[in-house]
Amino acid sequence: MSGSRGELPPLVDYLVVPAVNLTLAFLVSGLVVLAIGENPLAAVRIMLSGALGYAEGVGYTLYYTTNFIFTGLAVAVAFHAGLFNIGAEGQATMAGLGVAVVCLAFDGAPWWLVLPFAVAAAALFGAGWAFVPGWAQARRGSHIVITTIMFNFIAATVMVYLLVNVLGKPGAMNPETRTFAEATRLPPIRDMLLPLGFDVGTSPLNPSFFLACLAALLVWLLIWHSRLGYEMRVFGFNPTAAVYAGIDPARVVMIAMMISGALAGLLAVNEVMGVQNRLLLEFVGGAGFVGIAVALMGRAHPLGIVLAAFLFGVLYQGGAELSFERPKISRDMVVVIQGLVILFAGALEHLARPPLVRLFRRTRLAAEA
């Protein structure tokens, strides 16, 4: 997304720069922790041990990671086509509807039979919800950022309406559907590994984690090894050159948005079919926005996204443990960190660059002298 590359070795560009940005974000987060009268180092220790210190914690961390891989990939795919999809939240919300409809329709059928349909429905509903903003940008020239924001809110209202008036379980306190049958739910990975002699602890981690890893691989192939990905990148970097090359900009915008929406939608497989086992309001829980942070940190590369998603998984799981142990540091701390990461790795990404470029020029000159 940024222009001033090339002055730094790729390794520095892809590793040191993000690391410096991340460090800055964490330093400021540490100051916040200090400000509310807690010890940041102790907080880090609690978070790390909570997220990685025992099997169940790792399970939770990976469960969060799954969501963030999906939304991070979604945001990244749009990035490559020069589009900013802020609508992953809404796309995932609508996908939840698709997953729920499939699971309710096949209620009682074994999960492995339902899963392909659920995945298809999630992708379809997510893509459909992303298609409209994509179409509006491609054909009507509306600004995709504003439209996707609006679509997040529209999705939320539609969901309330459907859960209250149409799909809701009669007599329930909260607007939500009935729970799916045991057989239809995605089994926890623990249940799959126990017969093999592994105990990974009780956690919501389920096979959709593998789906997320597969998605990352497919996105990598798409972006760097397929014609469509090539066309997306050409368009994203230089729309005029894309027209010159015979690439239809409207087609690229719409397809990129639909792929992005489909990826965001897959989150619903994890949440609705794997964890909640019913459709309820706000099940996405902000993961669509975390995707922005993940895509920025991972520099829109699937490997970077998987790593960044894992980092955020650690933050979410660790943050939960932290708020349990130190009630003063509520889970909102994670939201603050997330915001700071977006700020430093995204909006302020050039902050660390000039000093690094100077540093490298100096060391190179010194080496040549």
Partner 1 sequence: MPIAPIPDAQVPALPPAIELVGIDKRFGGVHANRDIHLTVDKGSIHGIVGENGAGKSTLMSILYGFYQADHGRILVDGREVRIRSSADAIGLGIGMVHQQFMLVETFTVLENVILGAEGAPRLAAAESRARGLIERLARDYGLTVDPDRIVGELSVGEQQRVEILKALFRGAETLILDEPTAVLTPAEADHLFRILRRLQAEGKTVVIITHKLREIMAVTDTVSVMRRGEVVATWPTAATTVERIAEAMVGRRVLLHVPKASSVPGRTLLAVEGLDVRDGRGARLVEGVTFDVRAGEIVGIAGVAGNGQSELLETIAGIRRPSAGSIRLGAEAIGGLDPAAIRALGLAHVPEDRHRMGLVLALEAWENVMLGYQDDPAYQAGVLIDGRAVRAAATDRFRGYDVRPPDIRLRTGLFSGGNQQKIVIGREMERDPDVLLVGQPTRGVDIGAIEFIHRRLIALRDRGKAILLVSAELDEIRSLADRVLCMCGGRIVGECRPETPEADIGLMMAGVAA
Partner 2 sequence: MEFVESAALVLGSAVRLSVPLLLACLAGLWSERSGVVDIGLEGKMLAAAFAAGAAAAVTGSAWLGLLAAILTAIAFSLVHGFASISQRGNQIVSGVAINFVAAGLTALLGQAWFAQGGRTPPVQGDARFQPIDLPGEVAARAAGGFGRLWSEVVSGHNILVYLAFLAVPVTWYALGRTRFGLRLRAVGENPHAVDTAGISVAGLRYAAVVIAGLLCGLAGTYLAIAQSAGFIRDMTAGKGFIALAALVFAKWRPVPAMLTCLLFGLLDAVAIRLQGTPLPVVGPVPVQVFQALPYVLTVVLLAGFIGRAIPPRASGVPYTKDR
Window contacting partner 2 (CB under 8 A); options: 116-124, 147-155, 231-239, 310-318: 147-155
Q: List binders of partner 2 among 75-134 (CB under 8 A).
A: 84, 86, 132-133
Q: How far is the CB of 68 from partner 1 (least distance, A)?
A: 27
Class of residue 165 by CB neighbours under 10 A (exposed 0-12, middle 13-18, buried 19+): exposed
Q: Is 347 in the site for partner 2 (CB under 8 A)?
A: yes
- Of 22 and 218, nearer to partner 2 (C-beta) is 22
User: Under the criterion CB under 8 A, does residue 284 sit at the interface with partner 2?
Assistant: no
Residue 357 near partner 2 by CB under 8 A: no
Separation CA 113–CA 256 (nearest Å): 29
- Of the two residues 34 and 303, which places its CB atom closer to partner 2 in the complex? 34
| Exposure on the CB side of residue 230, measured as CA atoms within 13 A | 6
* Interaction of residue 42 with partner 2, rule CB under 8 A: no
Kindly tell me which residue out of 6, 10, 141, 246 binds partner 2, with binding defined by CB under 8 A.
Answer: 141
Residues in 152-211 at the binding interface with partner 2, rule: CB under 8 A: 153-154, 157-158, 160-161, 165
Q: Name the residue nearer to partner 1 (CB basis): 328 or 361.
A: 361
CB contact set of 218 (below 8 Å; sequence gap of 6+)? none
d(CA 306, CA 70): 9
Residue 112 CA to residue 170 CA, distance in Å, equals 29
Q: Which does 181 bind (CB under 5 to 8 A by kind): partner 1, partner 2, none?
A: none
In whole angstroms, give the CA distance from residue 264 to residue 275. 17
In the list partner 2, partner 1, none, the entry touching 39 (Cβ below 5 to 8 angstroms by class) is none
First to last CA, the chain: 35
By CB under 8 A, tell whether 343 contacts partner 2: yes
Residue 178 DSSP one-character state: P
Distance CA 194, CA 215 (A): 26
Q: How far is CA 77 from the centre of its chain?
A: 11
CB under 8 Å to 312, separation ≥6 — which residues? 64, 65, 68, 290, 293, 294, 338
- Per CB under 8 A, residues contacting partner 1 are 3, 5-6, 221, 225-227, 230-231, 233-234, 237-238, 240-241, 243-248
DSSP state of 186: P
Q: Which stretch binds partner 2 (CB under 8 A): 28-36, 264-272, 275-283, 299-307?
A: 28-36
Look up residue 312 and give its amino acid.
F
Nearer of residues 5 and 143 to partner 1, judged by Cβ: 5
Give the residue from 93, 71, 77 showing the smallest Cα distance to 253: 77
- To partner 1, the closest distance from the beta carbon of 128 in angstroms equals 24
Contact of residue 227 among partner 2, partner 1, none (CB under 5-8 Å per partner type): partner 1
Q: How far apart are CA 233 and CA 135, in angstroms?
A: 19
Cα gap 264→259, rounded to integer Å:
9
218 binds, among partner 2, partner 1, none (CB under 5 to 8 A by kind): none
Of 178, 339, 357, 360, the residue at the interface with partner 2 (CB under 8 A) is 339
Check: CB of residue 145 under 8 Å from CB of residue 277.
no
Count the site residues for partner 2 by CB under 8 A: 52
Q: Which residues would be at the binding site for partner 2 (CB under 8 A)?
A: 1, 32, 35-37, 84, 86, 132-133, 136, 140-143, 145-147, 149-151, 153-154, 157-158, 160-161, 165, 289, 292-293, 296, 327-330, 332-340, 342-343, 346-351
